[in-house]
Amino acid sequence: MSTASGTAFMKLSCHCGANSFSFPVVLPINKKYKSIRLCVCSDCRYQNGTLAGSFVPAPSVPFDPDSPPSGITVYRSSDIAARYFCSTCSCQLLFRQSLPELAKDEGNGFWIATGGLQLPSGEQFEVDAVNFVDCALDGGLASWLPSQSINKTLQANINVEDVSALEIAAKDIDNTDILEGKCHCGKVNIALSRPGQGENELPPKTWGDNTDLMVPYYTPREKQPPIVSENPWWIREEQVPGKGKRFLGGLCTCASCRTIAGVEVQSWIFVPTVCIKLKLPDGSVTEWPSREQLVTDERFENVIGTYQSTAGDPGVLRGYCKTCGANIFWDGLTRQGLIDISAGIFTHRGIREEAWIEWWTERVSYVEDAEGRHCIGQCLEQGLKDWKKRLGGHV
């Protein structure tokens, strides 16, 4: 913990740099400004596309809520809540509750989405609480905190035993033939069919380099496992015999995902594009569009915003809902017919859809990017292992 005194700044910025804010704070910084609240409510999951939002209270008012900067899109997720995201890169920046009791608060009801937030030098975030766990029928991201941490962080009088009970109860929810997902406003609707049903999902028609989730980026090429044509890493074995193969899913704490989603932990599903159907607002259903179509075809361009690669992400194209800002997909040049889709948009049944997704428990992707920022990445790595153990070693 920093022992400095005086005044410093908490600095908030998005990935593309179009929006930035500075919040003056007195040192040593008040604990509440560095104590992250993870939120697994349905609004946060559908609106940012991840399994949880992450927030700290704003120490001051960033702008007039009725007149936000021109580079910000405002989405009202309820009668009392407004969310502010970058119109260019989609980074979730701020959330505001317009409640009378917060009108005189120092931040006037504003909360900062922590993904793009930097604390003064020497300070580090910590997880203070996980809110609205009862909105996730299986415990959501809270299930993946280390067992010894759950009682300390969960709110609404939910403890580790309650979370375990939620996990067991969720197993009884019926399987589905199609996995449906949609953003908060409902303009982006995606339907997934089971993987492993056709040769188009196998190399060379569908291709992807080893993912950092399974093979750390620093692994020398000659030591990386080969891509097995008959059983590639993105197609996983069925959870229950007869229910069909699954997609691989995992968590990522890389700096790019963090500053584009605006949250500390992004959650992805790796999906062959032949398994994806996109329903447009006019009711028409189409195959997943090509990169070129997403950028130039107004049928898709009017609904899904795209953010092109930067120096830090060469060849990467990301997509988001233009209306509510939900992160939708990641597509890279090291892939062919295989994209990452944000897992949060598939949680409308309140579960992690384990009959469709094998959640990787051995690593959080780019966990090294979170070092010196907080311990959330390492906590989740341990928590995923604890979760797998609770389930008898089979997820």
> How distant, in Å, are the alpha carbons of 64, 68, 87, 136, 247 from that of 19?
15, 11, 9, 32, 35
Copy the structure tokens of residue 386. 């604890």
How confident is the model over 83-102, as a mean pLDDT?
Answer: 90
Q: Are the beta carbons of 28 and 5 closer than 8 angstroms?
A: yes
Q: Is 308 exposed, middle or buried (0-12, 13-18, 19+ CB in 10 A)?
A: middle
Q: Are the beta carbons of 182 and 46 closer than 8 angstroms?
A: yes
Q: Same CATH fold, 179-390 and 6-170?
A: yes
pLDDT tens sequence across 336-381:
999 999 999 999 888 899 999 999 999 999 999 988 888 889 989 9
∠ CA(277), CA(282), CA(284), 5° rounding? 35
pLDDT tens sequence across 141-180:
888 887 555 444 455 556 667 777 777 766 767 678 899 9
- Could you count the other beta carbons within 10 Å of the beta carbon of residue 156? 12
Domain 6-170 part of CATH 2.170.150.70 = yes
**Which pLDDT score is estimated for 137?**
79
Q: Are the beta carbons of 183 and 322 closer than 8 angstroms?
A: no
Assigned fold of 179-390: 2.170.150
Query: Among candidates 185, 179, 208, which has minimal Cα distance to 304?
Result: 185
- Lowest mean pLDDT of 50-59, 71-80, 105-114, 165-174, name the range: 165-174
Q: Is 303 exposed, middle or buried (0-12, 13-18, 19+ CB in 10 A)?
A: buried
**Which pLDDT score is estimated for 19?**
97
DSSP state of 154: B
Q: Is 377 exposed, middle or buried (0-12, 13-18, 19+ CB in 10 A)?
A: buried
2 pLDDT more than 60: no
How confident is the model over 56-79, as a mean pLDDT?
Answer: 93
pLDDT tens sequence across 101-151:
766 677 788 999 999 999 998 899 988 888 888 787 788 888 888 755 544
Distance CA 95, CA 330 (A): 24
DSSP secondary structure of 345-379? GG-TTSS--TTTEEE--S--BTGGGGTTT-SHHHH
Distance CA 284, CA 50 (A): 26
Per-domain boundaries in the chain: 6-170, 179-390
Distance CA 131, CA 38 (A): 6
**Which pLDDT score is estimated for 315?**
85
Which residue type sits at 197?
Q
Bridge-based pairing of strands 276-279 and 266-272 is: unpaired
Distance CA 350, CA 261 (A): 21
pLDDT band at 99 (very low <50, low <70, confident <90, very high): confident
**Which pLDDT score is estimated for 158?**
61
**Which pLDDT score is estimated for 135?**
80
Residues 6 or more apart whose CB falls under 8 angstroms from that of 185 comprise: 75, 321, 323, 324, 326
3 pLDDT more than 70: no
**Which pLDDT score is estimated for 151?**
45
pLDDT tens sequence across 253-287:
999 999 999 999 999 999 999 999 999 999 999 99
Copy the structure tokens of residue 271. 């999906």
Instruction: Identify which has the larger pLDDT, 317 or 230.
Output: 317
Distance CA 115, CA 128 (A): 16
How confident is the model over 73-84, as a mean pLDDT?
Answer: 93
pLDDT tens sequence across 286-335:
999 999 999 999 999 999 999 986 666 678 999 999 999 999 999 998 89
DSSP state of 70: T
How confident is the model over 85-103, as a mean pLDDT?
Answer: 88
Copy the structure tokens of residue 259. 């500053």
